[in-house]
C-alpha cells in the first residue's frame, strides 16, 4: 500500500483529492496545517507528501525544509500545490526541497502524471532495482546507491533527494557525454516542458552543492553551453582532454 500525506487547508481541494486518491487505491492521511503535517511525518514513513504552500501555523516552504531534515522523510518525494505560479515561487519551493510543483487549479490527471514520475524514480510502484542491475551505477570517483538514494564520492556518502538522485543517475548513464536539457527532463520527469528548464537548473545547483568541493567551480557536473550538462567521473584525468575541445564548458 502506498501511503500519502496531504496537507491543505482548502476543504474543497481536500475532498476532491480524498475521493480521487482513495479510488486509485492509495492510503491517505489528511491534515489542514503545516504543524500537524510535521508531527505526522515524525512518527510515520510516507511514500509521498502533497503540500499546500499557504497553510496556517507553518507554510509549505518551511515544512519542506523541516521534512528534509527528518530521518523518516529526508528522501520522500514532495509535491507542492499552490495558487502562486511565478518562477520565483517555484525556485523557492525547489530550494526548500520540493521535487515537483503544481499550480492550482489543476486536473487530477496532471497530478497523477507527476506522482507516477516520482514513484518511478523511487521505485515505489515497481522494483526499480531489477531494471537497473545491468546499468551503470559506479564509474571513476562516483558510485550511486539506488536503495538509499545516496551517492559515494571518494568514499564520502552524500544523501540526495529523489530528483537529485535521478538527475545524477541519468548523467551516469551518459558518462563523459554532453546530455541535452530535453533529454534530462524526459528521462527524469517523463515529459519535456520549456518552463521546467529553469527548475532543472535549480535541482542541478542543489546537487552540485552536495557532490562538489566547490559548487561554484564544479569538477564533476559541468555545464555544456547551449546543450545541457556533462558528468566527469575522473576530473583530474579529464582536465587535459577538455582543454582543446570546441564545446564551451562553464565551471
Q: What is the CATH number of the domain that holds 178?
A: 1.10.10.10
Q: How far is CA 64 from CA 47, 161, 184, 211, in A?
A: 15, 12, 24, 21
**What's the confidence (pLDDT) of residue 211?**
93
Mean pLDDT within 112-126: 74
Domains contained in the chain, number: 2
Q: Give the neighbor-by-neighbor strand order of the sheet with 150-153.
A: 138-139, 142-145, 150-153, 156-159
Pick from 89, 122, 155: which residue ends a domain? 122
Judgement on whether residues 111 and 197 belong to the same structural domain of the protein = no
Q: b or e along 137-148 (b: 16 or more beta carbons within 10 Å of the residue's beta carbon)?
A: beebbbbbbbee
* Residue 30: strand, helix, or coil: strand
Digit-coded pLDDT (tens) for 61-87: 999 999 999 989 988 999 999 887 777
Name the DSSP letter for residue 195.
Answer: G
Q: Is the dihedral of CA 153, 156, 157, 160 positive or negative?
A: negative
Judgement on whether residues 102 and 190 belong to the same structural domain of the protein = no
Name the DSSP letter for residue 111.
Answer: H
Domain of residue 162 covers: 128-250
Judgement on whether residues 112 and 135 belong to the same structural domain of the protein = no
Judgement on whether residues 132 and 22 belong to the same structural domain of the protein = no
Judgement on whether residues 105 and 199 belong to the same structural domain of the protein = no
**pLDDT higher than 60, residue 240:** no
Give residue for cell 500519502. 4
Digit-coded pLDDT (tens) for 182-226: 888 888 877 666 656 877 888 899 899 999 999 889 999 999 998
Is pTM, for the whole model, over 0.75? Answer: no
Pick from 61, 88, 122: which residue ends a domain? 122
Pick from 106, 122, 138: which residue ends a domain? 122
Amino acid at each position: 500500500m502506498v501511503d500519502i500525506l496531504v496537507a491543505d487547508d482548502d476543504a474543497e481541494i481536500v475532498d476532491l483529492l480524498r475521493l480521487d486518491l482513495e479510488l486509485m487505491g492509495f492510503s491517505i492521511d489528511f491534515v489542514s496545517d503545516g504543524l500537524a503535517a510535521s508531527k505526522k511525518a515524525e512518527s510515520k514513513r510516507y511514500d509521498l507528501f502533497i503540500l499546500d504552500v499557504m497553510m496556517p501555523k507553518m507554510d509549505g516552504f518551511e515544512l519542506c525544509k523541516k521534512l528534509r531534515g527528518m530521518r523518516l522523510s529526508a528522501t520522500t518525494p514532495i509535491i507542492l500545490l499552490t495558487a502562486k505560479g511565478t518562477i520565483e515561487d517555484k525556485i523557492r519551493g525547489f530550494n526548500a526541497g520540493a521535487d515537483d510543483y503544481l499550480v492550482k487549479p489543476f486536473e487530477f490527471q496532471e497530478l497523477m502524471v507527476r506522482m507516477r514520475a516520482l514513484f518511478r524514480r523511487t521505485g515505489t510502484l515497481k522494483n526499480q532495482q531489477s531494471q537497473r542491475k545491468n546499468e551503470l551505477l559506479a564509474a571513476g570517483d562516483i558510485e550511486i546507491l539506488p536503495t538509499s538514494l545516496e551517492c559515494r564520492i571518494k568514499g564520502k556518502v552524500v544523501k540526495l533527494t529523489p530528483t537529485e538522485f535521478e538527475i545524477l543517475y541519468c548523467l551516469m548513464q551518459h558518462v563523459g557525454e554532453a546530455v541535452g536539457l530535453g533529454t534530462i527532463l524526459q528521462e527524469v520527469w517523463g515529459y519535456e516542458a520549456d518552463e521546467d528548464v529553469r527548475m532543472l537548473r535549480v535541482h542541478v545547483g542543489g546537487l552540485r552543492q552536495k557532490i562538489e568541493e566547490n559548487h561554484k567551480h564544479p569538477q564533476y557536473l559541468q555545464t555544456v553551453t547551449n546543450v545541457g550538462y556533462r558528468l566527469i567521473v575522473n576530473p583530474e584525468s579529464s582536465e587535459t582532454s577538455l582543454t582543446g575541445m570546441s564545446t564551451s564548458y562553464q565551471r
